Amino acid sequence: MKKILTALLLLSVFTALPAETDPATLLVRCDDIGMCHAVNVAAQELAETGIPLNYSIMFVCPWYQEAVAMLKDYENVCFGIHLTMNSEWKNFRWGPCAVGADVSSLADEDGYFYPRMDLAYAAKPSLSEIETELRAQIERARRSGLDVKYCDTHMSTLDSRQDIHQIVVRLAEEYGLIFSEFVSDQRMDGMYSQAPGKKGESLYKQLERIEREGVNLLVCHIGKTGPEMDALIDMNPSGPLNMSLHRESELKVLKSKNFRKKIESNTIRLSTYAAEYENKQGLK
């Protein structure tokens, strides 16, 4: 009860700024929750701060059940489904969760999703199999008991082809999920490409010039260094080396007093997909 009351108090501080301050609106979204234990621990640590957050959970991954158990009671977190058709880590792979269905065009010969978009497309994935798999992920999320409000996509495979993208949009509407791109108006550069020691400085500069109109989106990737995450190697050429250091650095920035000070000094209102979707619906 103390945890919930603290979260609600902080929510009121961050979401109820006086109208005359003309605050900018920011969604802080953390992707890949449920991927592994180190990510789940980081997600819980950040949730403990009480700031409004959006957590995109990978329900295809082996640690999603732990994520649900650890995070379900945090009232300051809006939960979403991180729809997935890639498995990008060397020696740590996952595959489709459409149990009993033929979704073989989505997986390699060992039954894992392809690590990169180009490889997934080269396999000529069946549109009907993509729909079957995405339905299975959504249904698994619904069975988890978590109150999922929105959905988004992992990497770019589900976004870069219009015929595939339309499946995602249609399923979101069918299942009553908020599709993330319909809420945020602009996406910030974020911290992903910055060196671990430069992430805070880069983000704070972005916050100083944040857009005052519409809804801003900051996508983050958090985790904890240690034997589990230190061993992960991204098989995508664009993936940063020493990923565990990158993810823990993003966690430290978001947990820091400096981040909260920058939010306050730049008159930024942290929010959630659910709250901003309601706001946009009210403007129609």
**Tokens 């966690």 map to which residue?**
251
Q: Residue 22's pLDDT is what?
A: 83
Q: Tell me the mean pLDDT in the region 113-132.
A: 98
> In this model, does residue 41 exceed pLDDT 90?
yes
Q: Residue 21's pLDDT is what?
A: 59
Q: Residue 283's pLDDT is what?
A: 66
pLDDT tens digits, one per residue of 245-268: 999 999 999 999 999 999 999 999
Q: Using pLDDT thresholds of 50, 70 and 90, give the confidence band for residue 16.
A: very low
Q: How much is the pTM?
A: 0.92
Calpha distance 54→156 (Å, rounded): 19
Q: Residue 238's pLDDT is what?
A: 86
Q: Residue 9's pLDDT is what?
A: 46
Domains and CATH numbers, the chain: 2-283 (3.20.20.370)
- What percentage of the chain has pLDDT greater than the value 70? 92
> In this model, does residue 67 exceed pLDDT 60?
yes
Q: Using pLDDT thresholds of 50, 70 and 90, give the confidence band for residue 56.
A: very high
